């Protein structure tokens, strides 16, 4: 598999490429901690388009470009013509003449696909409604750091299956040969096409993929426990309904007693404490959520270095 020009979903890369990126992320992280400069992108510029707000995505990409010797431009939809009706194709062509790469955080995945199709420079998915691959790269890096490996581990995702984090996790964890168990309430199952494709990939890599409507079934003997908010960005109007529908899917002390004694807990943040997870868990000894958040920086620097 030749190196793709863009990074739009986890399946743009094969297992070996993902592992190479993770190793590079570890090296960049080590160099940063040691105070060793690594200006691999000196003179390079990244356009960051935000049609959805963010804390971690903006800070990690902007700081990452700075640490790599480059420069990042923050472009909100209120400040560029894309938010005032300019076709995506025109924006892609114009930016291709100005900058060396584009990171976009947007709505429907078709928007980023059109941007990548029309741009002559690399495009990185900072988040779409359907996929969040940069987050999952940080998750994989965190799991590998904490457990020493990815292959053969059992990971459970508990919560809304039909969201961007769940979809990218399913793809990424299966691609790396993990045993993946997903639990969601009825009506909140992951995209069937993503599940089918990931199940085939998991089998090829020596892993597995299973779905359940029972959080207790999914979390049984897990090495890694992952959740996300029940009402993601854009679903706020459904919050009350979702709070009712997701009863029994909160990651709490009682539920995690079914995981392995040395399990680790991940959450992409921001968290709604007392809803999808209790403070006891997210602040507890098994939680690595803040290491995970920091690893957004290191994983994305490896992606930027590779593509730019």
What is the CATH classification number for the domain harbouring 237?
3.40.50.1370
> Active-site residue 84, yes or no?
no
Instruction: Identify the sign of the CA torsion 283, 161, 202, 115.
Output: negative
Global model pTM greater than 0.85: yes
Q: Please indicate, yes or no, if residue 47 is contained in any of the structural domains.
A: yes
Residues 16 and 125 in one domain: yes
Structural domain total, the chain? 2
Residues 116 and 91 in one domain: yes
Q: What is the pLDDT of residue 83?
A: 59
> Active-site residue 174, yes or no?
no
Catalytic residue among 6, 171, 268, 298: 268
Residues 152 and 280 in one domain: yes
> Active-site residue 6, yes or no?
no
Catalytic residue among 132, 242, 267, 298: 132
Q: What is the pLDDT of residue 55?
A: 93
Residues 273 and 155 in one domain: yes
CA distance 21 to 19: 5
Q: Please indicate, yes or no, if residue 1 is contained in any of the structural domains.
A: no
Q: Please indicate, yes or no, if residue 193 is contained in any of the structural domains.
A: yes
Residues 167 and 48 in one domain: no
Per-residue model confidence as pLDDT tens for the chain (308 residues): 677 799 999 999 999 999 999 999 999 999 999 999 999 999 999 999 999 989 999 999 999 999 999 999 999 988 888 757 889 999 999 999 999 999 999 999 999 999 999 999 999 999 999 999 999 999 999 999 999 999 999 999 999 999 999 999 999 999 999 999 999 999 999 999 999 999 999 999 999 999 999 999 999 999 999 999 998 766 777 889 999 999 999 999 999 999 999 999 999 999 999 999 999 999 999 999 999 999 999 999 999 999 99
Query: Annotated binding site for L-ornithine: which residue ranges?
Result: 164, 228, 232-233
Catalytic residue among 58, 167, 267, 296: 296
Residues 36 and 118 in one domain: yes
Catalytic residue among 24, 139, 223, 228: 228
Catalytic residue among 67, 135, 144, 171: 135
Q: Please name which of 197, 194, 202 lies closest in space to residue 176, comparing C-alpha atoms.
A: 202
Q: Please name which of 299, 295, 304 lies closest in space to residue 47, comparing C-alpha atoms.
A: 304
CB-based contacts of 157, cutoff 8 Å, min separation 6: 166, 169, 170, 180, 181, 182, 183, 218, 226, 227, 228
Residues 225 and 158 in one domain: yes
Query: Annotated binding site: which residue ranges?
Result: 54-57, 81, 105, 132-135, 164, 228, 232-233, 268-269, 296
> Active-site residue 58, yes or no?
no
Q: Please indicate, yes or no, if residue 98 is contained in any of the structural domains.
A: yes
Percentages helix, strand, coil for the chain (3-state, rounded to 5) are 45, 15, 40
Between the alpha carbon of residue 3 and those of residues 12, 102, 110, 185, 279, the distances in Å are 9, 17, 22, 38, 41
Residues 174 and 44 in one domain: no
> Active-site residue 228, yes or no?
yes
Q: Please indicate, yes or no, if residue 76 is contained in any of the structural domains.
A: yes
Q: Please indicate, yes or no, if residue 215 is contained in any of the structural domains.
A: yes
Q: Please indicate, yes or no, if residue 232 is contained in any of the structural domains.
A: yes
Residues 192 and 256 in one domain: yes
Query: Annotated binding site for carbamoyl phosphate: which residue ranges?
Result: 54-57, 81, 105, 132-135, 268-269, 296
Residues 82 and 163 in one domain: no
Q: What is the pLDDT of residue 1?
A: 66
Read out DSSP for 96-121? HTT-SEEEEE-SSHHHHHHHHHH-SS
CA distance 103 to 59: 13
Residues 118 and 210 in one domain: no
Q: Please indicate, yes or no, if residue 190 is contained in any of the structural domains.
A: yes
Domain containing 163 equals 135-293
Residues 150 and 123 in one domain: no
Catalytic residue among 105, 131, 167, 242: 105
């Amino acid at each position: 598999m030749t190196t793709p020009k863009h990074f739009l979903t986890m399946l743009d890369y094969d297992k070996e490429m993902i592992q190479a990126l993770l190793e590079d992320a570890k090296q960049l992280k080590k160099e940063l901690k040691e105070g060793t400069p690594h200006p691999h992108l000196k003179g390079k510029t990244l356009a960051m388009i935000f049609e959805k707000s963010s804390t971690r995505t903006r800070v990690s990409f902007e700081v990452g470009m700075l640490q790599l010797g480059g420069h990042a431009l923050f472009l909100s939809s209120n400040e560029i013509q894309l938010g005032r009706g300019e076709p995506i194709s025109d924006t892609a062509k114009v930016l291709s003449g100005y900058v060396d790469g584009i990171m976009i955080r947007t709505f429907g995945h078709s928007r980023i696909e059109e941007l990548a199709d029309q741009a002559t420079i690399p495009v990185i998915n900072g988040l779409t409604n359907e996929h969040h691959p940069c987050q999952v790269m940080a998750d994989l890096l965190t799991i590998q750091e904490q457990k020493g490996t990815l292959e053969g581990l059992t990971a459970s995702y508990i919560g809304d299956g039909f969201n961007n984090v769940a979809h990218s996790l399913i793809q990424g964890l299966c691609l790396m040969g993990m045993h993946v168990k997903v639990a969601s309430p009825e009506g909140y199952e992951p995209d069937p096409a993503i599940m089918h494709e990931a199940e085939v990939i998991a089998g090829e890599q020596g892993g597995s993929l299973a779905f359940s409507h029972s959080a207790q079934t999914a979390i049984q003997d897990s090495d890694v426990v992952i959740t996300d908010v029940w009402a993601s960005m854009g679903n706020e109007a459904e919050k009350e309904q979702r709070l009712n529908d997701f009863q029994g899917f909160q990651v709490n002390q009682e539920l995690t007693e079914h995981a392995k004694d040395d399990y680790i807990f991940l959450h992409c943040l921001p968290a709604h404490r007392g809803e999808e997870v209790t403070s006891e868990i997210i602040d507890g000894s098994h939680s690595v959520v803040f290491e995970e958040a920091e690893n957004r920086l290191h994983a994305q620097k490896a992606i930027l270095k590779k593509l730019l």
